[in-house]
Amino acid sequence: MKTLLSIGHGYSARALARLLLPQGWRVIGTTRSAATAGELAASGVEPLLLPASLAPALAQATHILSSVAPDDEGDPILRDHRDAFAAARPEWVGYLSTTAVYGDHQGGWVDETTALTPTTRRGAARVLAESEWAALGLPLHIFRLAGIYGPGRGPFEKVRDGSARRIMKAGQVFSRIHVEDIAQIVAASIARPNAGAVYNVCDDDPAPPEDVIGHAATLLGLPLPPAIAYEDAEMTPMARSFYAESKRVRNDRIKHELGVSLHYPSYREGLAALLASESGRG
């Protein structure tokens, strides 16, 4: 039996588990919440409540995926469990990183060979964590994720309740990825392991954020949300950090090496599918 140890079993990892469990995989997911542990168990995932030792699960895992965010000092999972990882012998290891490692390119294109020049604290922490994972000597695959959206993480609720805004910043573009495409890309890597590989995980259509909000409103048949200049917008530090960088991310490698055909090649297909699924539930 193939066994995936999913460390920090969150939004993206849950989507992967939904692909693997029907194929007969065993999935162990870590969490620090007893309530979340119950949710995982109900979904067929074996919960492992941290701060328990990872050593027994690592000894059983044929595959390891970490979705844990780093702090300024690196990856807390490696800091707390480094000896256990040193003894592990998995077939495949995946680490979910971010395209923030590339920094700001003023709307220019980046690919997996682009130098890592992060301009935010979040991006710098990811660069450090990537290097820590690479230093373990395990069969590592790094996935640099663009902005994630999907069920429960779409713009429709804010557009409906009137809280959505189109924040305008000249030249600003983001790359995005639907969570179901994240899952299929990671699953494709598991099927075609290539230790040391790095993959950009994004769709085909980097776009200004205001276009996405505007398209969501159009799909709902509602007026365009108000346009607000970036300088005048109230945002959380995390949201503002996204606007500190503008780049277009290439995804050729996931197609050529992994044979991936995206379910949602742009936000247009992705938003249409989200709205259709909401209507189906209604």
Q: Give 280's contacts (C-beta < 8 A, 6+ positions apart).
A: none
**Domain parsing of the chain, residue ranges:** 3-155+176-204+248-264
- What architecture is domain 3-155+176-204+248-264? 3-Layer(aba) Sandwich (3.40)
Q: Is the CA virtual torsion 51, 57, 59, 64 positive or negative? A: negative
pTM, to two decimals: 0.96
Per-residue pLDDT of the chain (282 residues; tens, 9 = 90+): 999 999 999 999 999 999 999 999 999 999 999 999 999 999 999 999 999 999 999 999 999 999 999 999 999 999 999 999 989 999 999 999 999 999 999 999 999 999 999 999 999 999 999 999 999 999 999 999 999 999 999 999 999 999 999 999 999 999 999 999 999 999 999 999 999 999 999 999 999 999 999 999 999 999 999 999 999 999 988 888 889 999 999 999 999 999 999 999 999 999 999 999 987 765
Number of neighbours of residue 282 by Cβ within 10 angstroms: 5
Pair 53, 84: CB distance under 8 Å: yes
Q: Give 209's contacts (C-beta < 8 A, 6+ positions apart).
A: 166, 167, 172, 174
